[in-house]
Amino acid sequence: MIPVNRMTYGLSSWARIAGLGVVALLTLGPVIWTVSTSLRAPAESFDLPPQIIPSAPTTEAYSQVFAQIDVWLFALNSTLVTALIAVGQMITAGLAGYAFARLEFRFKKPLFGLVLATMMVPLQVTIVPVFLILKSMGLTDTLLGLIIPAWPTAFGTFLMRQYFLGMPKDLGEAAMIDGAGPWRIFRSVYAPLAAPGLAIVGVLAFNYHWNEFFRPLILETSTDNFTLPLGLVSLQGNLGTGSVSVVLAGVVLSMIPAIAVFAVGQRPLREGITSAGVNR
Amino acid sequence: MTTTQHRAEAKAAVRKPEPRPSARERGTRLLAALFLAPTVIGVLVFTVVPIAGSVVLSFFHWNVIDSPTFAGTDNYRAAFTDDTVLVSFSNTLVFMFFAVALQLLLALVLALALDNRLPGWLRSTFRSAFFFPLVLSAASISVVMKYLFNQEFGVINWLLGHVGIDPVPWLTSEDSAMAAVVLVYVWQQFGFSFLLFVGGLNNIPKEIHEAASLDGATGIRKHLAITLPLLSPTLLVASVVGIINALQVFEQPYVLTDGGPGDSTRTVVMVIYQSAFEQLRFGEASAVGVLLFALILAVTALQFRLSRRFVHYQ
């Protein structure tokens, strides 16, 4: 029976692989086009047919990006914002997740419910008051105004709580019998085991905030505080449709860190995205 | 003293802790308070207070410069009569319907096609490819797509030309602009539902499939009768998350069409953004925001209601 199955599957699985290949090509096509067009001379970048390998590759578009906008500054802003948010979220989510998982205190359930409920609230519903609160703190048009409100993370807290709940309880109890206090138990027993969970929180935060557009668009008004996505859209605005390859070179530059994270942290990223859905 | 008395005393001692919390308990509570403070304070300041603020603001007229004046239900009445607001809600619902339906269908077909009869390296290559767009920025992808969808010079019309289709005025016609926005959004988002489905399919015990095959169920019939019902919890999650995200669409129409041509791709979040931060009508913007929140809550509640009937938990 099994060999027969395999034979009948031979043909249809080739068709399946072909179908999957077409979708994969359509998925990666725009990215490949972006990279190869960014390597064409700006003057001919909109010429058809598109070239997968440019006939006369040049990095002229890249030098023009650096001439047109302050890429280094935008990249520095993006890096600062993203890194500080990611580290901040790992700290707040790690601590709160541990408290909800392993510490006993009053109002634990309602507090956890409150934190979870905020996952349901869309950003756009709160953005006007958040803007006004930040304005009263003098934080609009500053990078801190992007960073601080992003520190509390309901999803990260939830994820870390699950993570700590998954660790054996005996470890903490053994340490308690040895006379360790609550802080020592956290510091020397559980915290060292939390790294993989924290990696998921960090990678997700990095990916989300590196690409973030809506909040920077509203909060950052002076060009000096632009992050890369804002800078790129303004690059397109400055140039119109004249030199596509210059805009695309900018897009490629902004993609590099996201692609690096994809390459290195694909696993935590995938796990994070999946649990983001499954545990909702 | 008898042994039973001994035992009773020992039990009482265990059962009744001293009335004052021990040093350990106080330490635990202090630690919990310290650990929770950043998250709880942050959630209060940046989510709970702003929700209340939005509701309050929605009953006022305010342009930040002058002091706010009480508006009663003016802002809500305006939202229900203003053509732009109304059309933005219908656009958003149309967008949501097509974006979520396409995204789920594509993801489901791909996840089913990518079963374990394929060699491992091929599966992981395809999986990476499908999920890759998720890590890119929606804003810069939209910049790229704007070129690809260009009527005269875009690669998409060039490709369509090869199969004999006349150039489509994708972004410049009221009839096709929304289709382009949906396609760009689905291109980037289907990987999310795909990952969920792959996870869901992995959780279905192999024995069930084997039993079905022995009973003679194959191909599409097997999937319809067995896989889909078992996958229904994942389908629910994917559609709830998909709908919540789609109702908040902003970057794609903002970059691709700026809401045009006319108002044909203006979405609710674009209206919130424009009335608050371009026209400084914070009250109106808040009212629209509150309505969007209500819509999201209603859709989610409805979905969970329906799911009680259609979702099978193992």
pLDDT by residue (tens digit) across B41-56? 999 999 999 999 999 9
Mean pLDDT of chain A: 85
- What is the reported pLDDT for B6? 58
Alpha helices (H) along chain B: 3-15, 23-43, 49-57, 74-81, 83-113, 120-131, 138-148, 155-162, 177-202, 206-214, 219-222, 228-247, 251-256, 268-273, 282-310
- What is the reported pLDDT for B17? 52
- What is the reported pLDDT for B216? 67
pLDDT at A248 over 60: yes
CB–CB contact B196 A278 (8 Å): yes
Contact A46, A241 (CB under 8 A): yes
In chain A the domains, ranked by start, together with CATH numbers, are 69-278 (1.10.3720.10)
- Cα–Cα distance between B95 and B263 in angstroms, integer? 13
Mean pLDDT of B255-284: 91
- B186: its two tokens: 């689905």
What does the buried/exposed string (b/e) look like for B247-267 if buried means 16 or more CB atoms within 10 Å of the residue's CB? bbbbbbbbbbbebebebbbbb
Closest approach of chain A CAs to the CA of B2, in angstroms?
A: 31
CB–CB contact B292 A280 (8 Å): no
Q: Which long-range contacts (CB under 8 A, 24 or more apart) does A36-39 make?
A: A37/A244, A37/A245, A37/A248, A38/A62, A38/A245, A38/A248, A38/A249, A38/A251, A38/A252, A39/A245
Mean pLDDT of chain B: 85
By Cβ distance, the residue of B27, B133, B145 closest to A181 is B27
In chain B the domains, ranked by start, together with CATH numbers, are 78-310 (1.10.3720.10)
B221-242 pLDDT, tens digit per residue, is 777 777 888 888 888 888 888 8
- What is the reported pLDDT for B67? 82
The answer to which of A145-154, B86-95, B144-153 has the lowest mean pLDDT is B144-153
Query: In sequence order, what are the beta bridge partners of B60?
Result: B70
CB–CB contact B237 A278 (8 Å): yes
CB–CB contact A273 B247 (8 Å): no
- B308: its two tokens: 């009680």
pLDDT at A4 over 50: no
Q: Which long-range contacts (CB under 8 A, 24 or more apart) does A167-174 make?
A: A167/A193, A172/A102
- What is the reported pLDDT for A3? 42
By Cβ distance, the residue of A99, A123, A261 closest to B36 is A99
Kind and range of the H or E element at A66? helix A60-68
Nearest CA in chain A to B51: A126
Rounded (to 5) percent helix, strand, coil in chain A: 80, 0, 20
Mean pLDDT of A117-137: 88
B163-219 pLDDT, tens digit per residue, is 888 888 899 888 899 999 999 999 999 998 998 898 888 877 777 777 776 776 666
**Nearest alpha-carbon partner for A117 in A150, A155, A91:** A155
Nearest CA in chain A to B241: A277
> B93 falls in which pLDDT band (50, 70, 90)?
very high
Does residue B60 sit in helix, strand or coil? strand
A136-188 pLDDT, tens digit per residue, is 999 999 999 999 999 999 989 988 998 898 888 888 888 888 888 889 999 98
- What is the reported pLDDT for B230? 83
> B307 falls in which pLDDT band (50, 70, 90)?
confident
> B4 falls in which pLDDT band (50, 70, 90)?
low
Does residue A198 sit in helix, strand or coil? helix
By Cβ distance, the residue of B38, B128, B136 closest to A211 is B136
pLDDT at B162 over 70: yes
Nearest CA in chain A to B283: A128
Q: Is B78 exposed, middle or buried (0-12, 13-18, 19+ CB in 10 A)?
A: middle
> B260 falls in which pLDDT band (50, 70, 90)?
confident
**Cβ neighbours of A207 in B, within 8 Å:** 135
By Cβ distance, the residue of B131, B240, B289 closest to A270 is B131
- Which among A7, A20, A134 is the top mutation candidate for probing chain B, defined by the most B β-carbons within 10 Å of its own β-carbon? A20
> B40 falls in which pLDDT band (50, 70, 90)?
very high
pLDDT at B289 over 80: yes
